[in-house]
Amino acid sequence: MAQYINVSTAHGPMKFAYWVDTPSGSSTIDPSIPTILFLHSLWVPGFSWREQFSRPQFRRFNCVAVDLMDHGWTETEVPETYSQEDAAADVAAWMDAMALPPVFICALSSGSTTAIQLAVTEPKRVLGMFLFSHMGTEETEHAGTARQEIVDTWKEAMANPSGEIDEEALEHAISGIFQLSLTGQIKPVSLIMAFLTRKLCVERWGHKRLRELQVVCCDFDVKRHGHSTEVLATSLRNIPIALLHGSGDFAYDAEYYDRFAQQLREANIPVETHAFDGAPHNLHVSHQDEFAELAGEFFARHCPNPNTWHQQLKPWRGSCRRSLTRYST
C-alpha cells in the first residue's frame, strides 16, 4: 500500500506517494543495507515496479518507488512549465524529507532523464544507476510527434466540459500509450497495468486538467536536453552505470540508445551496455525474469551488502493484482 509524505518544493507543496519494501518486510528503510530508488516513466506510475519488488534479486535491498509529478497518487499543483531540472530538484527534496541516504537508482525512460539530472546536479546522492530505455539525449522527432499525437487524442476524448468522455478517442489514446511502451506485447501483468493506468489517468487528466497533461506527459520529454561530455565527465566520474534497451522498441532504435552510451565512453565514465532481443520500451514488464537477473546482478556487484539478508528475508505480500483490487474497491 502506498505511503504519503508532504514535501516543500521550489514550486510549492507536494504530497508524494511512495512504496518501501525491505528484506524483513518492514515499510521503513533499514539503514544498514543499500537502498535502490525506482523511477518510473510517463503515464504509468510507481506501482509498475511492485512486481519487481517480489524478485529475490531485489529483495536483499531496501526497495523504494515514488510517484513523480502529477502521476499516480502524488498530488500537487503543476507549474506552467516543468523541466528535468525541476524533476530532479523535486526528487532531491523528497529524499531529504525521507532522510534517504545516497541511493542506487533503477530508472525507466523519462525516469532516467530525472535520474541523470539528479546525478549531474547532486552527484553525491547517487551511488550507481541502472537505466533502461534511457532518455539521456534530446527527444527524436519521431517519438516527439507520437507523444503529442497521443496527448492530442486524449484531449479530444476529454473535450466535453460536461465530463462526458469520448470512449473511442480514449481507447485510441490508451492504445497509443501501450504501443509506445509495450509494442503490442501482451502479458497478464501488462493487462492489469493497462486497466489501472487507464483508471488513474482518466481520473487525473479530465477536461479541467488538460494543461497539466500536456506539461507532464508530453512537454517534459519533448523539451528534454542532454548534457555536454564535459559535464558528464565531471559529475558522473564516480558513478557506475548500466544501460539497457530492447530491440523491439517502437519509438527508439539502437542508434539512439547508443548515442548516450558513446557520450559516456568519451567522458571516461564506467558504463556497460546491454540489449534484449525483441523487447519493447517497458521491458521490465515483458521480460521480467531477464530484467531482474541482469539488474540484480549489477546491483549485487556494486552494492556492498554486509547483512545476512537471506536469514531475514520474508515473503513479499504485494502485487499489481493487490494494488488493483485495493484501488477498484
231-279 per-position pLDDT tens digit: 999 999 999 999 999 999 989 999 999 999 999 999 999 999 999 999 9
Strand partners, 125: none
pLDDT at 98: 96
Determine the Cα–Cα distance for residues 18 and 15; give it in Å rounded to an integer.
Answer: 10
Which has more pLDDT, 150 or 26? Answer: 150
pLDDT at residue 320 in the model: 44
| Distance (Å, whole) CA 128 – CA 236 | 9
**Residue predicted with more confidence, 303 or 5:** 5
Please give the pLDDT value at position 326. Answer: 42
Tens-place pLDDT, residues 19-73: 999 888 888 898 889 999 999 999 988 888 888 888 889 988 999 999 999 999 9
Do the beta carbons of residue 70 and residue 216 sit within 8 Å? Answer: yes
Which domains are assigned to the chain?
Answer: 3-139+226-328 (3.40.50.1820), 142-220 (no CATH)
Quote the Cα angle for 23-246-280, to 5°.
85
Encode pLDDT of 163-195 as tens digits.
999 999 999 999 899 888 887 666 655 566 677
pLDDT mean across residues, the chain: 90
The pair phi, psi for residue 269, each rounded to 5°, is -90, 135
C-alpha span between 220 and 214 (Å, rounded): 9
pLDDT at residue 317 is higher than 60: no
Query: What single DSSP character describes residue 17?
Result: E
